[in-house]
């Protein structure tokens, strides 16, 4: 097998925001096996980004009285197979890259990678989400979160994940 990999990176990596199940993979060989996302999110006001935002005298009420809330059963099977017999040549040259926002299950991958089946499970209730940036103001607001579920966010995630399976001749 002929394999050559040349990677030149002389600049900066700038990331402003990353959510759950997001990643940056840099290198000759990257494996991320078994990623997926399941969940429930209740947001009255989601995320605030930028600068000089003003939230003034708001009343945010989140009422989530579900009897059964978000049962998730994720039975994925994820397999990553590498074929070592292929000839590969990779030449990558970067000065820099900039990522403003990476949401759930987002990837920046540089180089050879096997990224399969990303996995994340959650339930989120937010009367007001995150505030990002500078010179943001939140003044005289009222946030109420009422989540009186009897059964809340049952998640059973019994995945089978196999990575770097080498082919045998």
Sheet strands (E) in 18-119: 23-33, 37-45, 54-56, 59-63, 68-69, 72-73, 77-82, 88-94, 97-99, 107-116
Of residues 54 and 100, more confidence is placed in 54
Per-residue confidence (pLDDT) for residue 41, from 0 to 100: 79
Per-residue confidence (pLDDT) for residue 72, from 0 to 100: 80
pLDDT, mean of residues 7-32: 78
Q: In a 3-state reduction of DSSP, which class is residue 3?
A: strand
Q: What is the CA radius of gyration of the chain?
A: 22
The pTM is what?
0.55
Per-residue confidence (pLDDT) for residue 71, from 0 to 100: 82
pLDDT, mean of residues 29-39: 73
Confidence of residue 87 (pLDDT cuts 50, 70, 90): low
Is pLDDT at 166 greater than 60 in this prediction? no
pLDDT, mean of residues 11-26: 80
Average model confidence (pLDDT) across the chain: 77
The DSSP bridge partners found for residue 137 are 54
Confidence of residue 51 (pLDDT cuts 50, 70, 90): confident
Convert the pLDDT of each residue in 91-138 to its tens digit. 777 778 888 877 777 788 777 776 776 777 777 888 888 787 788 888
Q: What whole-number distance in Å separates Cα of residue 97 and Cα of residue 9? A: 10
Per-residue confidence (pLDDT) for residue 84, from 0 to 100: 63
């Amino acid at each position: 097998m002929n394999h050559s990999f040349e990677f030149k990176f002389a600049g900066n990596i700038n990331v402003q925001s990353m959510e759950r199940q997001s990643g940056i993979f840099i290198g000759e060989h990257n494996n991320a096996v078994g990623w997926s996302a399941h969940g429930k999110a209740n947001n009255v006001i989601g995320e605030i980004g930028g600068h000089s935002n003003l939230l003034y005298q708001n009343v945010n009420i989140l009422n989530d009285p579900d009897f059964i809330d978000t049962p998730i059963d994720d039975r994925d099977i994820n397999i990553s197979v590498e074929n070592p017999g292929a000839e590969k040549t990779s030449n990558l040259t970067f000065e820099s890259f900039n990522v403003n926002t990476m949401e759930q299950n987002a990837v920046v991958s540089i180089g050879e990678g096997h990224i399969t089946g990303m996995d994340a499970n959650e339930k989120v209730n937010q009367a007001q989400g995150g505030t990002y940036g500078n010179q943001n103001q939140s003044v005289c607001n009222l946030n109420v979160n009422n989540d009186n579920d009897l059964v809340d966010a049952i998640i059973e995630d019994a995945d089978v994940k196999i990575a770097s399976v080498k082919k045998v001749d």
